[in-house]
Amino acid sequence: MTMRRTQRERGLELGREKDQVFLKLIEAKAPYEERRRALLELEKQWLREAVTEAEREQLRRGIAEDLVTLAYSFNQPWAEFGKWLRRVQRLGFSNLALRVHITCLYVQSLHLFPRQAREAWEMLADAEKRALRLRRDRPLRQEHLEAIAHAKRVARVSRPPAR
């Protein structure tokens, strides 16, 4: 008799599986394309195993968020970074922490695609507003605000003037 795993257990299992795949790719010094393909293969496999549409959406969202981070890590041009960012925007962010993370990456990579500056800085302002709405005693509030402040400090493309 098989016991059904909880959603949390399944999430931890998928996370471990993804970590193992990525560890091998990092150790092999695999290029961006190989890592991207591996993530998309994991997504395909996981989507086949998913039971509900909500689970499939969550999987797509998580992989898209990982692909934005991967594209950032490899200094990919807008054609690649933007494709995954747009996918995340279409699917929605998994949570505020990932919204802040991805938005900070976007602002920090603007030197590669400065024409996106207005949108990136507007996204950062939105993420900051959301973080400020968290109660002051929430530890993540300060963490998010520090990440945003860091992105502002290190951004190589400044915020465009207001229209």
The closest alpha carbon to 89, from 132, 122, 41, belongs to 122
Output the six-digit token pair for 57: 């959406």
The domain total for the chain is 2
Please indicate, yes or no, whether residues 88 and 107 belong to a single structural domain of this protein: no
What was the pLDDT predicted at 3? 53
Please indicate, yes or no, whether residues 125 and 139 belong to a single structural domain of this protein: yes
Please indicate, yes or no, whether residues 54 and 84 belong to a single structural domain of this protein: yes
Helix (H, G, I), strand (E, B) or coil at 4: coil
Contact 7, 59 (CB under 8 A): no
What was the pLDDT predicted at 7? 79
- On average, the pLDDT of the chain sits at 95
Please indicate, yes or no, whether residues 77 and 114 belong to a single structural domain of this protein: no
Please indicate, yes or no, whether residues 104 and 144 belong to a single structural domain of this protein: yes
Q: How many residues does the chain have?
A: 163
Contact 119, 143 (CB under 8 A): no
Separation of CA 81 from chain center: 11
Residue 4 lies in a domain: no
- Whether the per-residue pLDDT at 132 is higher than 90: the answer is yes
Q: How far apart are CA 128 and CA 122, in angstroms?
A: 10
**Residues ≥6 apart with Cβ < 8 Å to 44:** none
- Kindly report the number of other CB atoms within 10 A of residue 142's CB atom: 13
The closest alpha carbon to 100, from 71, 69, 57, 67, belongs to 69
Contact 120, 152 (CB under 8 A): no
What was the pLDDT predicted at 4? 62
Output the six-digit token pair for 34: 């190989």
Please indicate, yes or no, whether residues 23 and 90 belong to a single structural domain of this protein: yes
- Whether the per-residue pLDDT at 1 is higher than 70: the answer is no
- What does the pLDDT average to over 84-88? 98
Percent of the chain topping pLDDT 90: 90
- What does the pLDDT average to over 83-107? 98
Of 66, 94, 122, the residue at which a domain comes to its end is 94
